[in-house]
Amino acid sequence: MIEQLIAEATECDFKVALETKKPKSWLKSVSAFSNGIGGTLFFGVSDDREPIGLSDVQKDAEAISRLIKERITPLPQFILKPLQEDGKNLLALEVSPGRSTPYYYKADGVMEAYIRVGNESVIAPDYIVNELILKGTNQSFDTLTTDAVKKDYSFTLLEATYLERTGLRFEPSDYVSFGLADKNGVLTNAGKLMTDQHTVYNSRMFCTRWNGLEKGSIFDDALDDKEYEGNLIYLLKSGSEFIRNNSKVRFVKEAQYRVDKPDYAERAVTEALVNALIHRDYIVLGSEIHIDMFDDRVEITSPGGMFGGGSIQEYDIYSIRSMRRNPVIADLFHRMKYMERRGSGLRKIVSETEKLPGYTEAYKPEFSSTATDFRVLLKNVNYHHDYSIMDINQVKTQVKTQVKTQVTTFDEILIFCSTPHSKAEIADYCGYKNNKNFTKKYLRPLLDSGTLKMTIPNKPNSRNQKYITVRTE
C-alpha cells in the first residue's frame, strides 16, 4: 500500500518519528508543498522507505494538526490518513497545492516561506516569494500596471508583425483588450515588454557560439558572441537568426533529387525560444535568456523554474498541463501564431525534431529545470559519433559520392584527422601533390557534409589553419 501511495504522491518526505520539540524539521516541507505542487509526508517511515511504525498514531495526528495550525500561515489544506504496513502503524500527511501563496513557517522569531529544490525543502529567495505573492493574489508579473504611459512609446515592430502573421491590423482598442494597457492608457508590464524602446532591463538575450563541446573564455573560445536587448519579438527574431547563422543545412544527393539536412528543425528552434520568452521569470533582477551553441547541441536557458513548482524531469511532456507564468504574453504570442496550441510547445519541439533526415532516438531533445532556471537542449542531428567505426556506406552518403576509391580516401582522411592536421599534411598523407584539386575533390565535400571542420573557422585562409574530424565523446 505505502509503495502505491508514494508512487501517486507529487512530492515525498519521510520521517521515522514525529518531532514535536523541533517541528520545523518537517513543517518546512508543509510550507514547501503548499507553495508548490503539493506533496505527502510519511511518518513512521525511514528514508529508505522501510516502515518503522508509530507508538501512538492518534496522539501524533493531533499534534500534527495543532502544530500546522499554530505555525503555518495562512492555514494550508491537508488530510491526515492512518496507514498500516507490515503490522506497523503509520501516518500520511497529504498537503494540497495552495491558492493563497506564500505559505510561511512562523515561529522561533522567524517567518520563512519554503520551496522544493530536488527532494529538499529550502528557504525561497526573495524573487520567488514575490512571484508567490502575485500568484496568491491571482496576478502575474505581466498583468501589473506600471508608471509608463502608452502615448510616450511606439509599437512599430509589434503592429507590423501582427499584421504580417495574422493579416489583421493592431487596433488601438486591442492594447486594452489584449492586456497591454489599462483603460487609462497606462502600460502593463506586458505592454512595456512589447515597446520598440528597451524599457524592461531584464528583457535581454545573450548568445554564444562556442568552439567545441564545452564553454570556455568568451575572448578565446567563442566563435560568435552577441547580446540583444529590446522587445520580445525582436529577441525572438534575433535569437532565431543567431542560431540559423551558426548552423548549417547539409544535403544528401539522391538519384533524382536532393534531400536537405539541417542541423536543427527551424520550427523546434522557434518553439524553444517562444517557450523561453513567455515562461521566463522577469522578476529576477539582472537576468537574461542564454543561447549557448556547441558543435553537437544548442542549449537555451531561461530564468525561472517550473511555474507552480517541481521539475520538468519529473513529468511526462505528453500529459503535462499548461501553467503560464505570463498569461498576457502567452496569449499575445498565440494570437500571432507563434504558438500552435497552448501547452503543446515541448511536444512540438520533439515532433518537429523527429521529422529531420537522419534523426534517431539519440537526438531527441532534452528538457531540464531547477528552482531557478529552465533549459531546452536541441541536438545537432548532423553531428555524428566515432567515424573510425562508421559503416563505410554512411561515409559514402555523407560525402555524396558513388566512387569506391573516393570512399576509401574519405575514410582515410577522417581517421587521419582524428588529430588536427594542415591541408598540406593531409594531401601528403593521401599521396596528392596538387592541393587545389585535393581540396575540391576531398576536403570541400567533407567540410560541406559536416564530417570535417576547420580549427579556425572564422579565418579559413589562415596559414595556421588545420582540419579535424567531427566526433562526439
What residues contact 113, with CB distance under 8 A and at least 6 apart? Answer: 31, 35, 102, 103, 104, 105, 123, 124, 128, 129, 132
Over the stretch 182-195, which tens digit does the pLDDT of each residue have? 999 999 999 999 99
Q: What is the pLDDT of residue 233?
A: 97
Residue for cell digits 515561529? 107
Q: What is the pLDDT of residue 392?
A: 37
Quote the cell numbers at residue 333.
Answer: 504570442
Whether the model clears a pTM of 0.75, i.e. scores above it, the answer is no
Q: What is the pLDDT of residue 417?
A: 84
What residues contact 290, with CB distance under 8 A and at least 6 apart? Answer: 205, 206, 207, 208, 299, 300, 301, 302
> Distance (Å, rounded) from C-alpha 269 to C-alpha 267?
5
Q: What is the pLDDT of residue 255?
A: 57
> Distance (Å, rounded) from C-alpha 174 to C-alpha 198?
21
Q: What is the pLDDT of residue 340?
A: 67
- Residues 269 and 249: beta-carbon distance below 8 Å: no
Residue among 454, 127, 165 at smallest CA distance from 295: 454
Q: Which residues of the chain are under the pLDDT cut of 50? A: 385-407, 472-473
Helices (H), 9-116: 24-35, 57-71
Over the stretch 311-367, which tens digit does the pLDDT of each residue have? 888 778 877 766 788 999 999 999 999 986 566 789 999 999 999 988 999 999 999
Domains of the chain: 2-125 (3.30.950.30), 141-192 (no CATH), 204-379 (3.30.565.60), 387-469 (1.10.10)
Q: What is the pLDDT of residue 345?
A: 85
Q: Helices 232-245 and 156-166 meet at what angle, rounded to 10? A: 70
- Determine how many CB atoms are found less than 10 A away from the CB of residue 408: 14
Q: What is the pLDDT of residue 341?
A: 59
- Determine how many CB atoms are found less than 10 A away from the CB of residue 26: 21
The per-residue DSSP string of 132-191 comes to: HHHHHTT--GGGSEEEEEGGGS--HHHHHHHHHHHS----TTHHHHTTSB-TTSEEEHHH
Q: What is the pLDDT of residue 408?
A: 61
- Residues 106 and 74: beta-carbon distance below 8 Å: no
Q: What is the pLDDT of residue 19?
A: 93
What residues contact 235, with CB distance under 8 A and at least 6 apart? Answer: 203, 204, 205, 228, 229, 273, 277, 289
Residue for cell digits 519541439? 349
